[in-house]
Amino acid sequence: MSNTHRTTRTQNSRESRKSEREDEQEAPQEVEQEPEPEARPRKPRRPPRPSSDGEESTHEPEGRRPPLMEVLRQARGQLAELTGLEAESVSSFEQTEDGWSLEVEVLELSRVPDTMSLMGSYQVELDREGQLTGYRRVRRYERGRADPRAGGR
């Protein structure tokens, strides 16, 4: 290959690269994206339904209840917010026609030793969507005390 041909080829190559750089500066940069993994088909979102008082509700349609663990977490959180006492456990729960009925154990007064701390057992009522509708303390006891047995033993 002659020097003239080599020089021309090098110049053409440089001009080509320069032209490509100018095109890149003018055109917006396109980012290569990896193909998205196959997504599960999504259910269309339902618009919030109006409630009986005219306000929109974001709760599930009537007849459909939220998962149990979500209900229990919500109940503990709502009771703690209302009473200012932290719920330690849910000792019983029951699904009712109107929603849920739970018994929640709450630390009312911390003492040393811990077995002498005062506990409260609260009956908590929730609607179908898991919103607290009422509560009441049904029992107060020391943490280390067992309930008396039936039959006086």
66-78 pLDDT, tens per residue? 888 999 999 999 9
Q: What does DSSP assign to residue 39?
A: P
Tokens at 31, concatenated: 């980012």
Q: Which amino acid is at 33?
A: Q
Name residues of the chain where pLDDT drops below 70: 1-65, 151-153
Residue 58: per-residue pLDDT: 46
Tokens at 24, concatenated: 């890149």
Residue 149: per-residue pLDDT: 78
Residue 26: per-residue pLDDT: 54
Residue 66: per-residue pLDDT: 81
Q: For the whole model, what pTM was predicted?
A: 0.56
Residue 146: per-residue pLDDT: 82
Residue 15: per-residue pLDDT: 62
Query: Residues 6 or more apart from 109 whose CB is under 8 A from it?
Result: 117, 118
